[in-house]
Structure 1
Amino acid sequence: MNNGCNRWQAINQLHLVLSATILLIFCFSFLGTGWITSAAQIPEIQQRGYLTIAVKDNLRPLGFRDANGNLQGLEIDLAQRLAVDLLGKPNAVKLQPVANRDRLSVVLNNKVDFAIARVTATESRSRLVSLSVPYYFDGSYVVVKDTAIQQINDLAKRKIAVLNNSSTIADVRYYVPNAELVGVNSYEEGRSQIESNTVAAFAADASVLSGWVQQYPQYRLLPTKLSTAPLSVVMPKGLQYDDLRRQVNEAIARYLAEGWLKQRAQYWGLP
């Protein structure tokens, strides 16, 4: 009899241990994300009265701070315009600056409603998040300082800096097959190479190089666009967010049809 009681006590204790373990695993699976709440749907956003949008604050001219510390740029304009369409007022938005490495995770972890932070639409990213219709077509351009260089062909047999392991390498090889490519690890290193006349040009994304031209008048973008890369708004996946995605996509499509996005891109000096 005592053996039977001991056996049942052991089984009950084992059940308690297993239940506690399962509960701990369940809890830690949420704590690991840092967030337990879910991304907001349209009714909740309307009740809350504002959007939360991740943006860049150090990338002129898409999203950067002016002399007074205020956020501005093409993507800031888009965020405020979407606030008007979704909530009726441009100031109904909280902008959250985000690092490049966190542009998708803030949406995946439900820290923001969506992100407008120079995210190129790719197939691999579309498996994780929903990507809007493109609001701007970025792409590779070449920036130079030497006024004698007017066209891409003028760079034949010259040195061109490119970011290591970037897709721009193939673009430059196609347009200037006999140029000598010099790998750099950052945009700042690329600018340093041009400034010291170590290279004649630097090939990279127009959305970054346009900011250079605005900050440093001695630089110019050559007219040839080497590649095209669509920039999209990052939104959460799931049927519950269908209305949010539909409203954002319809709004961007309307801005494109009306020419508003083109006008704002030109205003911010984007090619």
Structure 2
Amino acid sequence: MRLPTFGNVAAAVVMAAATLVAFGHAKAAEGVEAIKQRGTLIVGVKADYRPFGFRDPSGAIIGVEPDLAADVARRLGVKLELVPVVSSNRIEFLQQGKVDLLIATISDKPERRRVIQAIDPQYYSDFVNVMLPKKSGITDWAQLKGKPVCATSGAWYNKDVARTYGPEIVAFDGSEKPLFALKQGNCIGYVYDQSMLQGKLLDDDWKADYALPLKGIMDAPWIMAVALGNTSLQTMLESTTKDWMKTGFIVDNEKKWGIEPTEYSKAMHEKYKNTTN
């Protein structure tokens, strides 16, 4: 048997190191300086959640949260790359380094804060609601008991809604599949974030036959998130969020995309608009 020479071993080490470097560059960078060196900020956003993140006719992802991501990239002086995520994979994408940042309708929950770095203050807050056919006759959450209600896999409130009001939750990945199931008559309604449902009712083919007759419940703030330990990006984003609130940037974006500004957005603008920092 021929033993490997020193030269062959050294070459193998160099090749292995090069492979590790290449792999590292394929992942999203951890800090502000690395992002600037790369020249691109990679942000995970929803692509099926109008008006917060959805595709235009050309296939580009647009909406409230892509606009926020674009402003972060502008402040960093880099290009923006948007990566579509869904509720069931977004945290995994961040942990695996596929994205630098998540702006993806993430409700603020203690179990999430244990595995990702939340950005404070929370940039948004929304209620849970259910979109129902106008002809359903349902006027109270209690009337959902025993009825099939479509939902999105990974939404934190699915179990709480089922336990409190008794519907049979039928969960699907993303938001398009449950909407399709609702139109097919496979469920009586679609339980989801109220702002997204308001956005869906901007479409002519939904607003004609569907509505939000119930009062929103379970108000929950949303967080942007970076990887644990990413303190430089965390600090930059905390400052950015306060500036958005000071200038009314989020309130303006809600209006731009056709939804009524939430009480949270308006209250945070009032809180920060006269601050000096």
Normalising to structure 1: TM-score of the pair? 0.69
The alpha-carbon distance between structure 1 residues 198 and 76, as it changes in their structure 2 partners (threshold 3 A), is: closer
8 Å CA contact retained: 1:162, 1:168? no
**Residue of structure 2 aligned with 1:59, choices 49, 57, 64:** 49
Aligned to 2:218: 227
Shift of 1:154: 9.7
Q: Kindly report which structure 2 residues correspond to 1:19-98, keeping only aligned pairs within 5 A, or say none.
A: 35-36=23-24, 39-87=29-77, 92-98=79-85
Deviations 1:152-201 (A, max 9, x none): 47958895725499735645775xx6xx6343233667656765778764
8 Å CA contact retained: 1:140, 1:205? yes
The percent of aligned pairs where both chains have the same amino acid is 24
How far apart in 2 are the matches of 1:72 and 1:165? 23
How far apart in 2 are the matches of 1:199 and 1:244? 42
Structure in which a larger fraction of residues adopt strand: 2
SS in 1 for 2:134: coil
Count of residue pairs the alignment pairs up = 234
**Residue of structure 2 aligned with 1:236, choices 208, 227, 240:** 227
How far apart in 2 are the matches of 1:154 and 1:99? 29
Residue 136 of structure 1 pairs with residue 124 of structure 2: yes
The alpha-carbon distance between structure 1 residues 50 and 212, as it changes in their structure 2 partners (threshold 3 A), is: same
How far apart in 2 are the matches of 1:129 and 1:244? 13
Instruction: Output the amino acid matched with 2:42.
Output: T
8 Å CA contact retained: 1:161, 1:190? no
SS in 2 for 1:214: coil
How far apart in 2 are the matches of 1:126 and 1:157? 32
Shift of 1:219: 1.6
8 Å CA contact retained: 1:104, 1:129? yes
Aligned to 1:205: 193
The alpha-carbon distance between structure 1 residues 171 and 156, as it changes in their structure 2 partners (threshold 3 A), is: closer
Aligned to 1:246: 235
How far apart in 2 are the matches of 1:147 and 1:73? 30
Shift of 1:233: 1.4
Aligned to 2:248: 259
**Residue of structure 1 aligned with 2:202, choices 207, 210, 214:** 214
How far apart in 2 are the matches of 1:165 and 1:234? 17
Residue 126 of structure 1 pairs with residue 113 of structure 2: yes
The alpha-carbon distance between structure 1 residues 63 and 194, as it changes in their structure 2 partners (threshold 3 A), is: closer
Residue 108 of structure 1 pairs with residue 95 of structure 2: yes
Deviations 1:98-130 (A, max 9, x none): 343331222222222212222222211211110
* CA RMSD in angstroms, aligned pairs only: 3.6
Deviations 1:76-109 (A, max 9, x none): 111011112222xxx7211122343331222222
How far apart in 1 are the matches of 2:219 and 2:146? 24
Instruction: Output the amino acid matched with 1:120.
Output: S
